[in-house]
């Protein structure tokens, strides 16, 4: 007998960053700000975004796969951005 996995609520987090080699003028501006504040050890800054999506899914793998598809199709632009997806159960 196969058990259908119980549906559960998950928070998917998509961390989206500019790809290597893509100019990030925001990161450069933040870097010069940090240096102005005497954070002298600061070497490099990249600015990206974090998107949280609440979904219902049967397992962590399912939630992660869903998040990856969301990034590929809308949340990230693969020409200029790369992403990492994570999922945590809630409720």
Partner 1 sequence: MTMPANSPRVGVISFPGSNGDHDALNALQMDVGLHTRMIDYRETDLSEFDAIILPGGFSYGDALRCGAIARFSPVMEPLRAFVDAGKPVLGICNGFQILCEAHLLPGALLRNATLRFHCHWTHIRIETSGTAWTANLSAGDVLRLPVAHGEGAYFASDELVEQLEVNGQIVARYCDAAGNVSEDANANGSVASIAAVANDRGNVVGLMPHPERATNDLIGGADGLRLLRGLLSMAEARA
| Interface contacts to partner 1, rule CB under 8 A | 21-23, 25-26, 29, 74-75, 77, 79-80
Yes or no: say if 57 and 76 are a contact pair by the CB < 8 Å rule: no
Please report how close the Cβ of residue 17 comes to partner 1 at its closest, in angstroms: 13
What gap in Å lies between CA 51 and CA 53, rounded to an integer?
7
Q: Pick the closer one to partner 1 by CB: 18 or 87.
A: 18
Q: Pick the closer one to partner 1 by CB: 6 or 74.
A: 74
Q: Pick the closer one to partner 1 by CB: 23 or 36.
A: 23
Yes or no: say if 85 and 64 are a contact pair by the CB < 8 Å rule: yes
Please report how close the Cβ of residue 34 comes to partner 1 at its closest, in angstroms: 16
């Amino acid at each position: 007998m196969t058990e259908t996995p119980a549906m559960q609520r998950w928070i998917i987090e998509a961390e989206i960053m500019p790809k290597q080699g893509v100019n990030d003028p925001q990161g450069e501006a933040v870097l010069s700000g940090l240096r102005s504040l005497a954070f002298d050890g600061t070497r490099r800054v990249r600015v990206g975004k974090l998107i949280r999506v609440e979904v219902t899914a049967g397992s962590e793998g399912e939630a992660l796969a869903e998040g990856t598809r969301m990034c590929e199709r809308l949340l990230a632009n693969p020409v200029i951005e790369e992403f990492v997806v994570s999922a945590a159960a809630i409720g």
